[in-house]
Amino acid sequence: MESIFGYMEKYDYENLFLCQDKAIGLKAIIAIHDTTLGPATGGCRMWPYFSEMEAIEDALRLARGMTYKYAAAGVNLGGGKTVIIGDPYRKDREPIFRTLGKFINRLGGKYLTGEDVGTTLRDMEYIRMETPYVVTLPTYLGGAGDIAPMTAFGTIQAMRACAKAIFGSEKLEGRTVSVQGLGAVGYHVVKQLKEHKAEVTVADINKERVERVVKEFGVKAVAPEEIYDLPVEIYSPCALGATINDDTLKRLKCKIICGCANNQLKEERHGNLVHELGILYAPDYITNAGGTIFDTDRLESGQVNFERGREKVARIYQTMERIIEISKRDHIPTYLAADHLAEERLRYMREVKKYGGDLPPVL
């Protein structure tokens, strides 16, 4: 990214806030992409970025992804994201997150935050001490608690829709699946795949995580770099992004790519290459929307309702079917089909607001 304003203009961002507190070593970025559907909402990530520009680009890219995630899922929220430049294993967390909470509070509800990579529910409690604008909270504070199982559930729904399109049946029983990344969500993806009686192989750079899932679920494990070479039907990337790139596409032997990781395509052109190879790609912001769909459901009624929230997450199946339908109809890659679906809803709602809640007249 050569120009911050150039990037913001290209993708039509609304705001970018830089937050710092020298005394405690806080450096944070809050990116707000689009608030057409509602207040910008997106998690707070803590990561040791190599540079400030890398952190800014990540915040901007993730915020835009949240806009599309909510739009495609039919949720009335906009896209935003916070990233903190720092060690996710830092011990003295209270001052960092309470100070961040003060910054978020100054935005007056324009942005709502939540848990993400490198942050915890305890961190969200600290933020909540300074601002009400926090979505992800433990159950004893009125939140949904751990949303990882629902994120995984949404990924499985997308995978079932893909299986139906490729194999003629949504059943995952007997399907060979490789899961890359066994963090909070990846663990539950494996758990739910085994409940569906799939044949699962896993990989993770953390040996303790691998040992845990092998012991609990009886799955096979391979070295991290070997995961791309497995002759499986479904590849499920559940770690960090950019695992679909020039190198891996030469090695993948799967028919479906469906995982919960963010930003799986290193570049948009890799979505085109996946399509040309005849592999069905489930766009990441569709597959991993389950957690935030469930988490934000309480914003409408003021309280958590498990059955209602789960039903909304289950609709990811129909969303994925719709994306496959658009892809086939318009002869475009699925990542573009998902974008078109999201952009269509954003355009529609801009018209609704333009006319004060009424649809424009049909001429």
The residues that are catalytic are 81
CB 254 within 8 A of CB 236: no
CB 333 within 8 A of CB 275: yes
Determine how many CB atoms are found less than 10 A away from the CB of residue 348.
Answer: 12
Partner residues linked to 265 by β-bridges: 244
d(CA 188, CA 146): 11
Of 356, 338, 350, 282, nearest in space to 69 by CA: 338
What is the secondary structure of 103-171 as a DSSP string? HHHHTTTSEEB-B-TT--HHHHHHHHTT-S-B----GGGTS----HHHHHHHHHHHHHHHHHHHHS---
d(CA 341, CA 337): 6
Determine how many CB atoms are found less than 10 A away from the CB of residue 341.
Answer: 20
CB 114 within 8 A of CB 108: no
DSSP 315: T
In one-letter notation, the amino acid at residue 12 is D
DSSP 145: -
CB 104 within 8 A of CB 133: yes
